[in-house]
Every structure is written in structure tokens, then in C-alpha cells.
Amino acid sequence: MKAKTDQPQYPFCDLLPSVQSVASTEGLFNFKGGGCYLCEGSERSSALIGKLFAKTEFGRWETMSAKGGASVVFELSADDVKPQSYRIRITPQSVVVSASDDCGLYYGALTLFQLVVLQQGEIACCTIDDAPDFNVRGMMLDISRDKVPSMQTLFELVDRFSKMKINHLQLYMEHTFAYEGHEKVCKNASPMTAMEVRQLDKYCAERFIELVPNQNSFGHMERWLVHPEYNSMAALPEGGAPLPWGGIQRLPTALNPMDERCLPFLDGLFSQLLPNFTAKLFNVGCDEVIGLGISRCAQEVEAQGAGRVYLDFVKKIFDLVRKHGCKPAFWGDIIVKYPELAAELPHDAIALEWGYEADHPFEEHCRLFSESGLSFYVCPGTSSWNSIACRYDNMRENILSAAQNGLKYGAQGLVITDWGDAGHWQPLSAAYAGFAFAAGVSWSVNTNRDMDIGSQVSRVFIGDGGGLGEILVELGQLYKDAGALTPNSSVLFNLLFKDAGYLIPEGVSIYKLNAIMRKLDDLSTLVDELPVTGAQEPVMVLYEVQQMIRLLKTACFRGIAMLSGTMDEKAVNSELQEMITSSAEAQEMVWHLRNRRGGLDDSLAWIFKPF
């Protein structure tokens, strides 16, 4: 439903997320006059709403315990039957926010206070009816390849996510939880401890966000299986599984589903991890399980089929999850290859339909899960990884396709994923555009699909008054200017990542790379002229933007040298070496702004070395 309003769209189009429906009336409510407010919600929602009043610069507001005399009221009402929904009625004399539950009251308060700021304390009278398209609106952060965020970073993200009405957070783990008895696996990764997870879980719950455990449990087990203590449980202990996108997975990656030791091993991990979460949903991963047909279970694959071997083991993992009182979620990329088996999946499981290209077949896969009767979420991506600065247009199209098809086929949730493939070079702010857009369309597809993402990033994430968000968007557009598009990556990233044998795709030219260099110079000048405040977040994003520019210029320089045949010239090689060295040093500095030390050396090792 598009916003219904007979007044200019401002400020409703500037809300994040924008609301479902607005009916305008005459007059203004003067919030600057101050007064009293009443909240009928629980201690949790009342505390959050109280903080919003305490932080406002418009008027002096005090809480009341009875309705008489309160000009702003937050009330629980049986009329609002849909969970998380709310209604705001603004007249010249009063503001009434009504909802059927605590969460709805909080979301109504968030919308109200955004309007207060956008309209400088004088709010246009109207009635807003709002409710989410998706019950679950989530973010997933990769903390295994290779960045583990500091607790301060996580707390700050939770605050921002909550203000965008996000209610679900996952931290993707392979080896970054401090499992007792497995210290060798995680000791150099700066893992999250049980106490830290509990602190984060409590912090999330206070803000109506469910922190959902996420531990990959079948594939992507390289960090475990490279160690002798675990290697014999691998399907291919020596590695060598062919990758679906070409090349070879050098390291052992998948557990052997026929090895009777694997389930007790996983049960031991679950026993340590799950008690730290209050959520009863558990993402066990199980994506990109490769090489089973040439592994120690090749005989079973030959006799039963790879899909059957995969499904039988996954169902056993699900049994472990239920043993711990949880409901399983899993990545759906394997099962969509065997649609005849989808109906066998237990209906308490949630399939996570992921795909990160603009043309990912969300419609086909969502239809499959819908027809099988299986609950599912759609999981697009920020397109930040393997790009340095985001693939902006791809991100928008990918997220919008996921949202539209998820809504069409009854997905219960939309969870945006932010991965750290190949060293996690991109800074956190490269994902801000994806976070903002996903938050918008997961709440209301139709009223948020055309949002001004750059300005929203500046306002909601950075708080710099404008400029840095728009520059992040411009940097995210540069991947298209190279002259060729590559799946799940950008040419500019590959120019820093690939070794000396890298074949630059057809269409990339010296002229185009030089043009990108000129744009980067212009953006660098613009960044230097921005009136960035001394606040922590704008300054950190400023450093991150400068580092993205530095890395992209280094990539262009290498590409020009390769295309011109001057790579082996001493002066060119020396300059490239200097650029890469300075980029790596700056990368370390930027890394420490938001992340722990572990993983940094692994990340820097991915950068191409011309010497």
C-alpha cells in the first residue's frame, strides 16, 4: 500500500523505514511546547520511549502515571491486532500512539520522534497506520572471515538497527566462539566469549531484537578440519573439492556425513554455544557442501544420490538442535537443487533462501519453498564483499527482488547478509547502503523501494549532516565503470586480489581505469572539504572512505600497468609496491577502529604482492 497523503511527501518519504499509510488533516502539534506523556507499555518499552523523550531537543517532557493532562499518550489497544503494528493520531492538541503490543508501541515512538526531528518540533497533523510486510527483519554479519567486531561496534550497530525497526540479528560463526577444549582452533581469532554473547543477547533483547545463534555445521569447516585433531572427520581430509564457480577448494571443507564422530562433535559445540542465547531459533548453516561425490562418502553418494546423503545428515543435525530446545534454520542453496526432496524437510525448520546477484532466481526458489509448505526467509546481500566499496546497483536490485518475491510467496522474514569473503577488506560503512535499503523494504516494500539511500545513510548511520553517505553511494557505483561485471566480486577488487596470472576481463581498458582514477581524485578532494564533525562515527567513516579510495586507486594502477605491459618496469613495480605497502598499513589502522586484532594478518595476506 502506498502512502496515502494529500500533502507533500516530505517528511514521510524521509522516514526510515517509510510508513505504510498516511492520512493528513489540518494543523500542527507543537512538540516544542513540552508537557507530559504517558506510556502504558511494559518496563522495557517504557524505558526505551523514556530515553527518546530524554534525548529530544524539542521541549521539556515529563512522564505521568495517568492519562489526565498527558498530551502524548502511548496506549495498548486491542484494535491493533497485527503484531508490531501501530497507529499514530496527531491533532493540534494531542498525539496518541496505539498498538496491540509493546513492540508496536516502541516502533510507533520511533516514527514519532523521527517526525519531530524532521519537522523541527512542529508536527503536521495526520493519522499514520503502519505495520511490517515481514514479521522478521534481520541483519547477518560475518564474523569469521576475518573480522570480529569489538563489543562497542556491536552495541552501536544494535542501537542503529533497533531504530530502523530491525528485530533479528545473526553473527555468522565458523571458529569465532571461544569453545572450551577447542582453543587451538580459535585462539588467534579474537573469538567472542560466552560472557560477551550473553551481554550482547541482553542488549539486543532490551531493544526488541532477537540475537539468533549461527554456527556452520557441515560445510565451511576449514578452520576446524585443517587441524590434525579434526582432520579425520573431513569428507576430503586432503582437500581438493571442485568449486561450483570454478577452481579447487584447497583445504578440507566439509564434515563426513558418514563418520559417526561428527554428530557428537557438533552436539558438544551446540552444548556450549546455545545456552548463551535466549532465542529458540538456531541457524546451523549447511551451505555450499561440496565434494561429497569424490569423498569418503562417495560410495553412499553413488548409491543414494548426493541430495539424499546431504538431507539425511542435515535432518540428524536438526535432531540435535531440537534436543537443545531450539528450532533449526539452514541455508537453502543445496536443497533447491533437489526439489523432489524439499517436501521431506521437517516443517519446523526454516529455509534461508540466499542469493546475491541482481538476477538471482528468488521467484523460482521462493515458489519451491512455498509449495513445499516450508517456512522460509529471503536473504539477499549488501554486495559489499569482494568489492572494496560495494556494488551499489547490484545491491539495490538484489534486495528489491528478494523483498518482492518473498512478499509474493509468503516468506516470514527478510535477512540481509554482509559477508567477509577473501579477507573482509571492505570497511563496515561499505555495507551501510545495503543495511538502510534492506531495513526499508523489509518493513514496507512499496513505500521504501525508491528511498534516497545516500541521505538516509548520512542521517541514520553517520549523523554527519549529509555528504559522507552520498560519497559512499558514489564509491559503490565505480564497479560498473571498469568495463566488465564479474559475479560476486568486482574487477577492481580482483585487481588487488588475484595473483600474477589474472586475466583482466574483456572490456576493461586503460582509458576506463584512468577515468576511475580521476573520479577517485575528485572524490578525495570532496572528502577533504567536508565539514566532518569531531563525533566518533563521522570521523571513522571518513577514515574508511579515504581507505576505500586508496585501495581502489591501487587496484587501478595495477590494472593500467598490466594492460600497458609496464608491470615489470622497475619504476612501475616500485611505485606499485609502495602503494600496496602504504595501503596495507592504512588497512591495519582502519581495521582497529571497529574490530579486534584477530584475523588481521590472515586478511592482509590476501593482498596481491608484486614483489
Residue 7 has pLDDT above 70, yes or no: no
Residue 6's pLDDT band, with cuts at 50, 70 and 90, is very low
Report which residue type is found at 529: E
Q: Is the pLDDT of residue 55 over 70?
A: yes
Q: Mean pLDDT, the chain, as a whole number?
A: 95
Among the residue ranges 58-72, 195-209, 362-376, the one predicted with the least confidence is: 58-72
Q: Answer whether residue 4 shows pLDDT above 70.
A: no
According to the model, what pLDDT value does residue 461 have? 93
Cα(330)–Cα(337) distance, integer angstroms: 15
| 136-451 shares the fold of 12-130 | no
Type and span of the H or E element at 381: none
Q: Output DSSP code: residue 193.
A: P
pLDDT at 2: 38
Taking the C-alpha atoms of residue 186 and residue 179, their distance in angstroms, rounded to an integer, is 8
Residue 146 DSSP code: S
Task: For residues 461 and 160, give the distance between their C-alpha atoms in angstroms, rounded to a whole number.
Answer: 7
Lowest mean pLDDT among 6-20, 193-207, 237-251, 297-311: 6-20
CB-based contacts of 221, cutoff 8 Å, min separation 6: 174, 230, 234, 252, 253, 254, 255
| The residue to which cell 566439509 is assigned | 254
Segment 568-572 shows an average pLDDT of 95
Q: What are phi and psi of 449, to 5 degrees?
A: -65, -25
CATH architecture of the domain with residue range 136-451: Alpha-Beta Barrel (3.20)
Contact at 8 Å (CB) between 214 and 172? yes
Q: Which one, of 217, 229, 241, lies nearest residue 295 by Cα? A: 241
Contact (Cβ atoms closer than 8 angstroms) between residue 106 and residue 49:
yes
- CB-hemisphere CA count at 13 Å for 544? 28
Instruction: Reply yes or no on domain 12-130 having CATH 3.30.379.10.
Output: yes
Decide if pLDDT at 9 tops 70: no
Q: What is the pLDDT of residue 80?
A: 59
Separation in Å, CA 395 to CA 234, 464, 479: 35, 23, 12
Residues 307, 308, 312, 313: is their CA dihedral positive or negative?
negative
Residue 10, class by beta-carbon neighbours within 10 Å (0-12 exposed, 13-18 middle, 19+ buried)? exposed
- Nearest-angstrom CA–CA distance, 449 and 15: 13
- Does residue 463 have a pLDDT over 50? yes
Model confidence over 516-545: pLDDT tens digits? Answer: 999 999 999 999 999 887 789 999 999 999
Per-residue model confidence as pLDDT tens digits over 473-496? 999 999 999 999 999 999 999 999
Sign of CA dihedral 460, 462, 464, 467: negative
The number of beta carbons lying within 10 Å of the beta carbon of residue 485 is 17
Q: Count of alpha carbons within 13 Å of 4, Cβ hemisphere only?
A: 8
Q: Which residues contact residue 610 at a Cβ distance below 8 angstroms, ignoring those fewer than 6 apart?
A: 558, 567, 573, 576, 577, 580
Closest of 495, 487, 491 to residue 478, by C-alpha: 491
Map out the domains of the chain as residue ranges.
Answer: 12-130, 136-451, 470-604
* pLDDT tens-digit readout, 91-117: 999 999 999 999 999 999 999 999 999
Q: How far apart are CA 501 and CA 517, in angstroms?
A: 23
**Once rounded to an integer, what is the mean pLDDT over residues 65-94?**
89
Q: Hey, what's the torsion of the CAs at 557, 560, 563, 567, to 10 degrees?
A: -50
Per-residue burial over 184-205, b if 16 or more Cβ lie within 10 Å, else e, is ebbeebbbbeeeebebbbebbe
Separation of alpha carbons 369 and 169, rounded Å: 23
Average pLDDT over residues 335-348: 94
Distance CA 328, CA 403 (A): 22
DSSP secondary structure letters along 415-482: EEEE--GGG--S-GGGGHHHHHHHHHHHH-HHHHTT--HHHHIIIIII-SSSSHHHHHHHHHHGGGGG
Alpha carbon distance 563, 179 (integer Å): 48
Average pLDDT score over residue span 562-575: 95
